[in-house]
Amino acid sequence: MSAASAQRPVNGRRIIVGLTGGIACYKLAAVVSKLTQSGADVTVIMTEAATRFVTPLTFQALTGRPVYSDQWQHVESQDPQHISLARSADLVLIAPCSMDMLAKLAQGRTDDVVSLIVSAVDRSNQPVLLAPSMNAVMWNQPATQRNIEKLRADNFGIIEPDTGWQACRTEGVGRLPEPDQLLDAVEAALGNR
């Protein structure tokens, strides 16, 4: 680790990175790599849908840690890992955060490993950042906008999506921000603590 990395707000911090289903999952390889290189202790959690876009092995190789993709499998111990992981996190980033995950979190549903772990995070002193990523029509749905407002009120940090080319071959709002923008948001949230 370089001297510059040692000065970064992520150095020595425990960060959980959650991925949900979406083509933008590929961008998180760069985010996880940069966090790890900057001295963060990164744990990756993935919904089953996310594993269809990028494999857990990618993130295991980048972090040197097990990847959680099943709420029923105990990777490191026989303890309820969703509780111990949630308690140990300095920050949680969910990116891409799908329309479905926004709805689950707004409703308090916990039927996958990502929503289960996030449900056990104390957002009063542990930031949880959501980076929504979806088609422009999905982003503009009244249900999505209601869920975003509810999540803001519930003390989730929202990283606004970018506007640009989307996988559906159209341009519009809903694009996952670039890795450096996600890293800036993580550092800003940790720098304020």
168 counts as catalytic: yes
Contact assessment for residue 66 and residue 75, using Cβ atoms and an 8 Å cutoff? yes
| Helix, strand or coil, per DSSP, at residue 75 | coil
The letter for the amino acid at 38 is S
Nearest to 105 by CA among 73, 67, 146: 146
- Residues 26 and 146: their CA atoms lie apart, in Å, by 28
Q: How far is CA 30 from CA 151, 164, 184, in A?
A: 26, 20, 13
Which residue out of 29, 103, 136, 168 is catalytically annotated? 168
- Residues 78 and 139: their CA atoms lie apart, in Å, by 39
Q: Which residues pair with 158 in a beta bridge?
A: 130
Known catalytic residues are 168
